Amino acid sequence: MKNCRQFYIDGKWVDPTAAHDFEVINPATETPIATISLGTASDVDKAVAAAKHAFDSYSETTVEARLALLRAIIENYKAKSEEMAATISQEMGCTLSLAQSAQAPAGLGHLFEIVKVLEQFKFEDLKGSTLMRKEPIGVCGLITPWNWPMNQIAAKVSPALAAGCTMVLKPSEIAPLSAYLFAQILHEAGTPPGVFNLVNGDGPTVGAAISSHPDVAMVSFTGSTRAGIAVALAAAPTVKRVTQELGGKSAYIILDNADLATAVKDGVQSCFRNTGQSCNAPTRMLVPQSKMAPAIAAATAAAEATKVGDPSSKDMHIGPLAGKAQFEKVQRLIQQGIDEGAKLIAGGLGRPEGIGKGYFAKPTVFADVSNDMTIAREEIFGPVLCIIPYKDEDDAVCIANDTPYGLSGFVSSGDLEHARRVAKRFRSGNVHINNARVDFAGCFGGYKQSGNGREWGEAGLEEFLELKSIFGYAARQK
């Protein structure tokens, strides 16, 4: 079992202020795989002090120096990509194939993209006699979740480094081992002491200490809407910038002119990917009323074909949920869907047949769901799909937008121009047309209770910068 009790502060691995062991559990086997320490406010104070001290010099580094650092990090990351994939699979339960094809590469993708952005980004622009200057905001607190650990860590650390900020990272205590490895990658790449700091811990202690710290200029948080509200409240007295990427309940509109069988299969697979533990998962499938019967048949077949089991097995589609609490939440909401009268057409309660251990859930599909049911309103974060009938296109858009969330949307159509028109009507931060993949050069973030601010690419870099006007910088032209 790994010993990961130390924190990374001021360029060194240091012991916590007080011992508070916490076991990291492999959700496929329910056995401990590592021990970390849960930090305290005192540990946060030390990390923030190191970041504050380092900011004075790092914020003044040249773009060329920051590019050199990012490129060194990329090379180290590439050398450890297989180790990173295996670590992510073990700590949060995704299949090794997904970890190798998406989870670990996502971190590398953000690093590559920020290099492209930084190479051409304009930090200064003269407007008449006034210089518009973009400067690093300061010490940043980064709080990340367990479901896509490297995607979320790299999406924050990369632009912070590019901007000239220093930072304190608190990864999820459920899946902290990939962050531990990431800290080693940054150390070996020559990241200056104090620029990047890592303190493990829980939200109510370490997360709250970061959010409320007077020397932290910005908090970038990814997690549940409930936790995001707590972060914003803790940050409010010091009037720091808070960016949040929170929950989602994304709709997948299958238009009448779509290839129904293909669209339904794609929608089911997208919903179940990463065992349904993605904030942008298309968990509400909207289907024309006249096509409900064939849609139900196609969804049932796709769900029943989804293999669940050992994440290290190459032929598995999905692994376990990330932990006991998540498993119990998914079971509770499946039961609530049954109790509220939704039609269970695949999956249901309990583990899949033949699996007696691990936090594995059955790939589950409900049909004849109304948008006021709990399973259509709450973020389940498991392999559970709701199929909702709609009368016409306006009704579909109305249902899609009738949610407190607004993170993502999906539309499937045989007519690209038609799909474009519908995509523009979604009240969400991003929309996928015909199952298009994400693009790190785009941006990611939500409307409404899905958060504020944007990550990825140039938009993500902008979040870590302050805009200053220097009047009279140039002589006025007569």
Where do the structural domains in the chain lie, given as residue ranges? 2-246+447-470, 251-433
Provide the b/e sequence for 108-144 (b: ≥16 CB within 10 Å). bbbbbbbbebbeebeeeeeeeeebebbbbbbbbbbbb
Determine the Cα–Cα distance for residues 266 and 419; give it in Å rounded to an integer: 16
Q: What is the mean pLDDT of residues 8-25?
A: 98
Determine the Cα–Cα distance for residues 348 and 223; give it in Å rounded to an integer: 26
> What is the assigned CATH class of domain 251-433?
alpha beta
DSSP-based helix, strand, coil % in the chain, nearest 5: 40, 20, 35
Determine the Cα–Cα distance for residues 208 and 227; give it in Å rounded to an integer: 10
Determine the Cα–Cα distance for residues 348 and 320; give it in Å rounded to an integer: 15
- Say whether 245 is catalytic: yes
Determine the Cα–Cα distance for residues 207 and 187; give it in Å rounded to an integer: 23
- Written as six digits, the tokens of 248 are 């989602």
Determine the Cα–Cα distance for residues 60 and 66; give it in Å rounded to an integer: 10
- Say whether 398 is catalytic: no
Q: Say how many residues make up the chain.
A: 478
Q: Which of 279, 379, 443, 463 is catalytic?
A: 279
Determine the Cα–Cα distance for residues 55 and 60; give it in Å rounded to an integer: 8
Using CB atoms within 10 A of its CB, is residue 6 exposed (0-12), middle (13-18) or buried (19+)? middle
Q: Are 311 and 93 in contact (CB under 8 A)?
A: yes
Q: What is the mean pLDDT of residues 100-105?
A: 98
- Written as six digits, the tokens of 473 are 């910088």
Q: What is the mean pLDDT of residues 318-347?
A: 98
Closest CA to 283 of 272, 296, 297, 295: 272
The CATH number given to 2-246+447-470 is 3.40.605.10
Q: Following DSSP, what letter does each residue of 336-404 receive, concatenated?
A: HHHHTT-EEEE--SSSPTT--SSS----EEEES--TTSHHHHS---SSEEEEEEESSHHHHHHHHH-SS
- Written as six digits, the tokens of 125 are 């622009």
Q: Which amino acid is located at 230 in the chain?
A: A
Mean pLDDT score of the chain, rounded to an integer?
Answer: 97
- Written as six digits, the tokens of 424 are 């523009």
Q: Are 89 and 26 in contact (CB under 8 A)?
A: no
Determine the Cα–Cα distance for residues 7 and 14; give it in Å rounded to an integer: 5
Q: What is the mean pLDDT of residues 438-464?
A: 97
Determine the Cα–Cα distance for residues 439 and 456; give it in Å rounded to an integer: 9
pLDDT in tens, 394-432: 999 999 999 999 999 999 999 999 999 999 999 999 999
pLDDT at 478 (0 to 100): 58
pLDDT in tens, 171-199: 999 999 999 999 999 999 999 999 999 99
Q: Which of 91, 113, 245, 458 is catalytic?
A: 245
pLDDT at 314 (0 to 100): 85
Determine the Cα–Cα distance for residues 424 and 420; give it in Å rounded to an integer: 6
% residues pLDDT > 70 (the chain) = 100
pLDDT in tens, 371-399: 999 999 999 999 999 999 999 999 999 99
Q: What is the mean pLDDT of residues 250-263?
A: 98
Q: Are 258 and 413 in contact (CB under 8 A)?
A: yes
Q: Are 472 and 173 in contact (CB under 8 A)?
A: no
pLDDT in tens, 36-59: 999 999 999 999 999 999 999 999
3 state DSSP class of 153: helix
pLDDT at 477 (0 to 100): 65
Closest CA to 88 of 1, 175, 199: 175
Run of H or E including 271: helix 260-272
Contacts (Cβ under 8 Å, ≥6 apart) of 288: 254, 255, 256, 389, 390
Q: Are 252 and 286 in contact (CB under 8 A)?
A: yes
Phi, psi of 233, rounded to the nearest 5 degrees: -65, -40
pLDDT in tens, 260-318: 999 999 999 999 999 999 999 999 999 999 999 999 999 999 999 999 999 999 888 99
Closest CA to 168 of 147, 183, 184: 183
pLDDT in tens, 219-241: 999 999 999 999 999 999 999 99
Closest CA to 129 of 413, 471, 478: 471
